[in-house]
Structure 1
Amino acid sequence: MEKLSWRHKIIVAALLLLFFIRLLLIIGEKSAGFDEVIYPAAGYAIFHQFNYNINKENPPLAKLITALPLLFYRLKLPEVQQYPADHPFYHFAYGNEFLQENNLSAQKILFLSRLPIVAVALLLGFLVFFVTSRLFGITAGIVALSGYTLCPNILAYSGLATTDLLMAFWWLVFVSWSLIFIGELKLPLSRFRLLLIGGLIWGLALSTKFSAWLFGIYLLLLLVSEHYRQGLSLEKLFSWLSIILLIASGVILLIYCFKNLGAFFEGIAGILPMVTSGTGAGMTYLLGRVSPVGWRYYYLFVFLLKMPPSVIALVIWSAVIIWRQRLLRFSPAVFYLLLAILVIFVSLSLSAYQTGTRFFLPVIPLLWIILGMTASQILEKNRRHPLLIILLVAYIFSSLLAHPFYLSYISELFGGSRYGYRYLADSNIDWGTELPALKKYLQKNNNPKILLSYYGNNDPHYYGIEFAELAERSRIKGKATFYDRWDDILLIVSANNLTSAYYPPTFDFFRWLWEKKPLAIVGNTFYVYKLADDVYSLKKIAELYIAQNRLAEAIVAYRRILELEENEENLMRLAELYYNLGDKKEARFYLEKILALNPQNILANERLKTLK
């Protein structure tokens, strides 16, 4: 094995330090992600009340880990009034109240809750280097670690208190364990100890996310492969599998404190329909289209859209090298690394629950181990290979340009984050985390009146944002404002809402904005439009409010329209709105204005008769 020099140690330490600094710069500057809002409160509730019922759709380990730093503070657990405890939005309201109505600020709670995930991300980075350098040499390890620490998707989820990064960690730990198990990675451990460790890892993974059943698929494929490769008996393989399952079950029992397993099985029962049929999973959005069950090629497109172009080029180059050198046949390590990637991708593609990048996050560390191997082979032949250097430099630029809005990163080949809403939705482009950035933008522009269509489970009012609400996609009720005049008002729409993917398909909510150039894009997720002098846009907004039966806001919109363009059609529309609202006096006033312009207006005359 190649010896690690001081120079190598300094490079590894520097890469991890830069990674840590980049994460520290963002974890205190983001509002809670859509699902993230639940985790700190849920973990704290388990520690203080043994309450496993908050967010049963995910096991408790990630919640417990994110809540660890909060144990040093006396925080209040909420008593939610918005929804009953059996309401599907209850746990979002619970998490939001824990964050925004506590002894610490929401940002302080989020900062503390995200620190354990940052620590896991650093451990995962070190593991990437350790495994790669042991298998393929130190140069390969440094390339792999560089790729991991610069990846916008890794940076995005390393700064959020959710299950996703932790799941990626357990996946690489388990794959590394499998390489030790078959003798590709050399560690002085007996077979029995390895079986115990394998069960421990799988149990911890199943206590993190229910999708860890994939560990079992990978394990079965590993054991079957070793049966044919080494001639191991089926009886021996079955006994090994039984020991691993027994230990994994024991770990789950321990984490659920032996008496809360009902929450575990309820969580599985809740997630199964989402995976098998898409029931309860919501709509999948891709390239402007929506589907209740997704597409088999969805994750391939997500990979192409969310990974920098230089990485796609390196993947193709590496595939050629692996094929030419027949490494799948002659290198068990490469075979099992690629098998682990394939298990994730195939299972995701067959699933009806298709969300995006965060689900294939476990693939990225494995991918960089492979890319590190092939890059080191190229560098062995030519230390200054121009194409490889160009690709690596381009990758660095992609990473730096994504700062600090990593979550919304879209490949430069497809126009970058600015046009992400045309291709993808959900956590691929927007998770409601940029309210602090929006507040700064509004302050810089003298806090104008805004119509806000927000996607997320935070209350913008908590961040000092005064807004009139328009077709928000939130599971909590924020404190919105009513404006009786819309002069100089701005329209601000979250990227996810701009897709219109999560609204009823019978109505065009925001796609009409695709043809309009935004005044600004804040945090790569908030699209700002000048609204006050645009009659077409004002009419579209009024239609949105009418579709929601919010006639008072539609009236304000049409009053502004009349200031810009007074004609019979607009006067009639306003008169009808007042009539439907029950304000006969105002309805009569505008009907009489119509008749002053055109005494022969039949509709106005008939409506006026009904008011007498």
Structure 2
Amino acid sequence: MARKPRHEIRPAVPEIPPSPPALPEPARARRQVVWIGLAVAGLLAVHLALAERSLITENPTVDEVVHMPAGLTYWQKHTFRLYRHNPPLIKLIAALPVVLSNPVMDPLYQMKSWTDREPSQTTFSQTFAFVNAARYFELFQLARMVMPLFSVLGGLVVFAWSSRLYGPYGGLLSLCLWVFCPNILAHTRLVTTDVGSTVLGAGATYLFWRYLRSPSLPWAIVAGVALGLAQLSKFSMLLLYFVWPFLWVVRTILVASPDGWPRRVGRGVIHGLIIVALSILTIDVGYLFEGVGKPLGSFEFASQSLTSPVPGGVRRSPATTNPLYDIIWPFAQNRFRGTILEHVPAPLPEHYLLGFDEQKIESEGIPIRFSKAKRALSGGDLATARAEAASTDRSVTGYSVYLNGELRRSGWWYYYLATLAYKMPEGTWLLALASLAALAVGRRSREGWADEVALGTIPIVILFAMSFLTDINLGLRYVLAVFPYIYIQAGKVVPWVEGLSGRARAGGRAAVLGALALTVGSTLASHPHYLAYFNWASGGPDRVPARLIDSNLDWGQDLVGLREWCRTHIPDERIGLALFGQINPSIFTVRGDHFDWFLPPVKPADVSPMFNTPGLHVIGPSPKLTPGYYAVSATMLYGISWRLYDNTAYWQEAWQPSWNVEENAFAYFRQFEPIDRIGHSIYIYKLSAEDVQRAALTTVIPNRLNRRLSQAGSGIPARSASE
């Protein structure tokens, strides 16, 4: 055999090892389940870490100060009479670790703020702060550390619902938006009802959606109990009683069933009654059946929804120390009184109904005609009082509200849309808009459309109700419940992008990852000050003037941060402090950390004493503006009226807020440039002699205030509208 020429000899090609055999389908599925499970656990762990680290940095906010002590009374006294403004479930859960730590409580139960027929949650909470000052912040940290568990549960709900509709990767995208949502992180750390009700409402609706897909008695029972738990978190969850029947009707129309119409509708009605009955039973159990069965006509309601005009225009109203009831009760009475429902036993707890009535007062506002009628009645002019009460003028007054530099007493219909535009990260907005595009262009079955209606209805109803049916423009937290549904719907972007081909798919993947990176980056950059988060497009949290205030920016959360700043930068100097919050700044001195602060001056017409106890020694606002350091909360800077503390040595006698200040009492600080900001919510100023001269402020004359104080009769501190 002839040998091949040398130049024809080729080197041996290295042998390529055989590829590993393909995993069987069940093994591949198990591996994906493990990977997805680890990703979910990792994301929720990151969320929990961010929330827990943040809650240690900031002190209790305005509402927390009242919520947690009220929860303690529920555990210890088994009654829900204190701060029934919200249902008790979230407060009970938050207060549990505090109860176990044995705070000082016995002196509080001997005081009028507890023993009165109408207990004062504000006075009770302030006294709680005084007697527990040595570990006040630590007690709240115990309560706060429980709260992020609600948003962890919310993350599981978001992932479960999204992954069932859009696959595991769609579920992971939805979960990422939830985990890195600055607004969820902001409120999940707080002892308030906002995130808890958001999660319980979304979780209950998810379970009801599972029932709709597979109607059965067990699913109906689970949905009914879940609905009751949602009602125990916040009164706004009452909307589920209206939304769920609508979702059932939509699915009944769109999705065919092997059962005939009569059988299908009959089963749905029976299951619906079971769901409602179980939800009411759950509410009653949550309130320990307190006041269940009390006749409907025996309640003293005050909201427009639950009252009707008094025959004759004026009545002898029950005695009350609540200023709102004092205005309303002479001219309105329980609408069930004198009807066939008067003696019907109420199926719901007493304090649930009275708390709902209080919430309705807040959302509806106080009729101006009642205020005018009350003034006439106080002056002995009965005829004018009757005429004013019967007036056709239906205008109301409520809280001061703020948007984009404007402060007024009535809201804007677009307030919550603007708030979402300012406080949702740009990346989240891009993904939300992409989900709408996917909804518009994608093809889906009739059942798929029923699923989309289930996700879209609640956000639309919430935004419509808050924009057009109430006049509450106080913060994004009032529409926080829209976020789970927005984030779940964003999951459909993943299968939509994966359905593209070639470069379009690669571009779509890059866009989704880029948008998600924008959200993650902007949220991490705002850590740990999530309450003050504003997206870059809105101007950020330090924009002048601020886009929003109150719980959107400054909810009193940075007092501890201010104390640390003073300790570091001006350890030996006094600081003027106009604080928006419900913690007396002298709490540091009581704790052994002397804090030298004083109230800045205000105009005489803008301040009035809350105490009318003769002989009580208070200092009051400074008589004149002087050079030095000042700290002003953003909410006070932009004009909200509020209650301020007095830096007096008589803490036990005047521990509560001592001064009412009207709108724009500290607006003169806007002409100065702050030298620093604490958590974006408290502005630090260093005023020179030239600054003081430029301010040209009309100052408070202390003697005038002392005369007003000493001339007032004896009594108890005035109470806020929320009481």
What band does the TM-score fall into relative to the shorter chain? 0.7 to 0.9
- Displacement of 1:100 in angstroms is 4.5
Q: Give a deviation string over 1:2-23, Cα, whole Å, max 9, x none.
A: 6543332222222111111112
Name the residue aligned to 2:343: none
Q: Does 1:334 align with 2:452?
A: yes
Spell out, residue by residue over 1:550-584, the C-alpha distance to the aligned partner (whole angstroms, 9 max, x if none): 46899xxxxxxxxxxxxxxxxxxxxxxxx999xxx
Change (3 A) 1:492 1:265: same
Structure 1 residues 47 and 84, CA gap change in structure 2 (3 angstroms) = closer
Report SS of the residue matched to 1:342: helix
- Taking a change above 3 Å as real, the CA distance of residues 457 and 475 of structure 1, as seen in their structure-2 partners, is farther
Q: In structure 2, what is the Cα distance between the partners aligned to 1:388 and 1:473? A: 53
SS state at 1:492 partner: strand
1:256 matched to 2:291: no
Residue 585 of structure 2 corresponds to 460
TM-score (norm 1): 0.81
1:9 aligns with 2:37: yes
Aligned to 1:358: 477
Q: Alignment partner of 1:76: what SS?
A: coil
- AA partner of residue 540 (structure 2): G
2:551 counterpart of 1:427: yes
- Equivalent residue, structure 2, for 1:595: none
Q: What is the rounded CA distance, in whole Å, between the counterparts of 2:608 and 2:454 in structure 1?
A: 42
Count of residues in correspondence between the two structures: 548
Residues 636, 664 of structure 2: 8 Å contact kept:
no
1:275 paired to 2:363? yes
Q: Does the Cα contact within 8 Å between 2:58 and 2:557 map onto a contact in 1?
A: yes
**Letter in structure 2 aligned against 1:244:** I
Query: By how many angstroms is 1:83 displaced?
Result: 6.2
CA distance 1:534–1:213, shift in 2 (3 Å): farther
In the TM superposition, 1:151-190 aligns within 5 A as 151-183=181-213
**Map of 1:499 onto structure 2:** 638
Counterpart-to-counterpart distance in 2, 1:531 and 1:87: 48
The CA deviation at 1:222 is 1.1
Deviation per residue, 1:233-264 (Å, 9 max, x gap): 55544333322221111111111111242211
Preserved contact between residue 133 and residue 587 of structure 2 (Cα < 8 Å): no
Number of the residue aligned with 1:147: 177
What one-letter code is carried by the residue in structure 1 that aligns with 2:678? V
Residues 235 and 126 of structure 1, relative CA distance in 2, 3 Å threshold = closer
Residues 507 and 389 of structure 1: is their aligned pair in 2 closer, same or farther, counting only changes over 3 Å?
closer
Kindly provide the amino acid, as one letter, of the partner of residue 354 in structure 1: N
Shift of residue 531, structure 1, vs aligned partner: 1.9
The CA deviation string for residues 481-532 of structure 1, in whole angstroms up to 9 with x for no partner, is 9879976521211011111033699864344433432111111100111224
Trace 1:367-386 onto structure 2 (pairs within 5 A): 367-378=486-497, 381=500, 382-383=505-506, 385-386=509-510
- Aligned partner (choices 419, 427, 433) of residue 310 of structure 1: 427
Are the equivalent residues in 2 in contact too, given 1:54–1:91 (CA < 8 A)? Answer: yes
Match of 1:224 among 225, 229, 249: 249
Judged with a 3 Å threshold, the aligned counterparts in structure 2 of structure 1 residues 245 and 475 are, in CA distance, closer, same or farther, namely: farther
1:121 matched to 2:143? The reply is no
Alignment of 1:13-28 (within 5 A): 13-28=41-56
**Given that residues 57 and 528 in structure 2 are in contact (C-alpha distance below 8 angstroms), is that contact kept between their aligned partners in structure 1?**
no
Which residue of the other structure, out of 226, 234, 242, is the alignment partner of 1:201? 226
* Greater gyration radius: 2
Q: What is residue 58 of structure 1 aligned with on the other side?
A: 86
Give the alignment's TM-score, normalised by structure 2. 0.69
Residue 210 (1) aligns with residue 327 (2): no
Aligned equivalents of 1:539, 1:352: Cα separation in 2: 35
Shift, 1:340, TM fit: 2.1
Describe the superposition over 1:200-251 as per-residue Cα deviations: whole angstroms up to 9, x where unpaired: 1121111111111111121121122234224755554433332222111111
Give RMSD over aligned pairs. Answer: 3.4
Q: Distance in 1 between matches of 2:205 and 2:139?
A: 33
Correspondent of 1:347 among 460, 465, 481: 465
Amino acid in structure 1 at the alignment position of 2:76: H
For 1:489-568, list aligned pairs within 5 A. 489-502=628-641, 508-536=664-692, 539=695, 542-543=697-698, 545-546=699-700, 550=702
Secondary structure in structure 2 of the residue aligned to 1:360: helix
Change (3 A) 1:226 1:142: closer
The one-letter amino acid of 1:531's match is: L
Give the Å deviation of 1:82: 9.1
Q: 1:473 to 1:219 in 2, by over 3 A?
A: farther
Deviates more, 1:269-278 or 1:94-103: 94-103
Matched-pair contact (CA < 8 Å) for 1:531–1:537 = no
2:140 to 88, 94, 110: 110
- 1:413 aligns to 2:537 (yes or no): yes
Asked if the contact 1:133/1:139 (under 8 Å) is kept, the reply is yes
Segment drifting more, 479-488 vs 101-110: 479-488
Counterpart residue identity of residue 493, structure 2: T
Q: Give identity over the alignment, percent.
A: 23
Report the CA distance shift for 1:379/1:154 in structure 2 as closer, same or farther (over 3 A). Answer: farther
Question: Distance between the aligned counterparts of 2:112 and 2:355, measured in 1?
Answer: 23
Q: 2-side partners of 1:580 and 1:282: how far apart?
A: 26
Structure 1 residues 498 and 475, CA gap change in structure 2 (3 angstroms): same
- Where in structure 1 are there 5+ consecutive unaligned residues? 555-578, 582-612
C-alpha displacement of 1:405: 0.5
Residues 537 and 195 of structure 1: CA distance in aligned 2, closer, same or farther (over 3 Å): farther
CA 1:506–1:324 in structure 2 vs 1: closer, same or farther (change >3 Å)?
Answer: same
**Most deviating of 399-408 and 459-468:** 459-468
The 1:94–1:277 alpha-carbon spacing in structure 2 relative to 1, beyond 3 Å, is: closer
Instruction: Give the equivalent residue in structure 2 for 1:469.
Output: 599
Residue aligning to 1:573:
none
